[in-house]
Amino acid sequence: MESVSIIIPISKNIESRDKSFKWVKAFYEKMFPEYELCIGASDEQPFPKAKVINKAVKESNGDILVIADADLIYDPNLLKESIKKLDSHAWVIPFRKVLNISKESTQKLLEEEPQWPIPIPVDTKKRPHAAMGGINIVPRELFDAVCGFDERFVGWGGEDDAFAASLNSLCGYVKRMDGTLYHLWHKRGSLTNYKENRELLRHYRKGKEAIKNQVEIRRSMME
């Protein structure tokens, strides 16, 4: 049986995330005791999520990587069923719907013991779009094939889309499941560097050869 590592990046500089992250961490430890939990943390600003993920992956041991945002919870069976899909698909995004839990409901939930189903009624609002980030399930060999996340993305925006474009173009198209994620409330992060991130992302939207070129640029930067 292939081993699984759950990779969670977290910024140390958003106070409202600290309590919720501890709750989410306890949720994973309780729901998935058989999986390796690898936390990547940084106090750099803007938050270098891509670099933090890459470092955590290097320190992990799993054959399968579950790259998950630090503010999400979901039915544990969803993850297990999604991992099985790697037998017939290159990589997996396990959801189509994200429900944002309100600030008040998040605060109440954090007073409860982590468990599933969610132990109290919560007020939620559906996000209009299902993003490419949130949770990605990918074999380590494919993560390595695209050189992981592009560390030139710093701050909010772009890194998840670039990673997805790289995998879809060079490794095989994603299998998206019909699951639902629940997003715990926290203060918004900084949009510093957003313009630069969007400009870099443009290169990943020019087709397969352009993406190959970006991967090679990053590979040379890592050597």
Q: How far apart are CA 152 and CA 18, in angstroms?
A: 26
Task: Specify the pLDDT at position 222.
Answer: 81
When pLDDT is cut at 50, 70 and 90, the band that residue 185 belongs to is very high
Residue 2, pLDDT > 90, answer: no
Task: Specify the pLDDT at position 48.
Answer: 93
The CATH superfamily of 4-222 is Spore Coat Polysaccharide Biosynthesis Protein SpsA; Chain A (3.90.550.10)
Residue 14, pLDDT > 70, answer: no
Q: Which residue has the higher pLDDT, 223 or 85?
A: 85
Q: What ranges do the domains of the chain cover?
A: 4-222
The length of the chain in residues reads 223
Task: Specify the pLDDT at position 189.
Answer: 67
What pTM was computed for the model?
0.96
Whether residue 64 contacts residue 136, with contact meaning beta carbons closer than 8 Å, is answered with no
Q: How far apart are CA 49 and CA 5, in angstroms?
A: 17
Q: How far is CA 4 from CA 12, 139, 140, 187, in A?
A: 25, 9, 10, 30
In tens, the pLDDT along 129-176 reads 889 999 999 999 999 999 999 999 998 889 999 999 999 999 999 999
In tens, the pLDDT along 80-130 reads 999 999 999 999 999 999 999 999 999 999 999 999 999 999 999 999 988
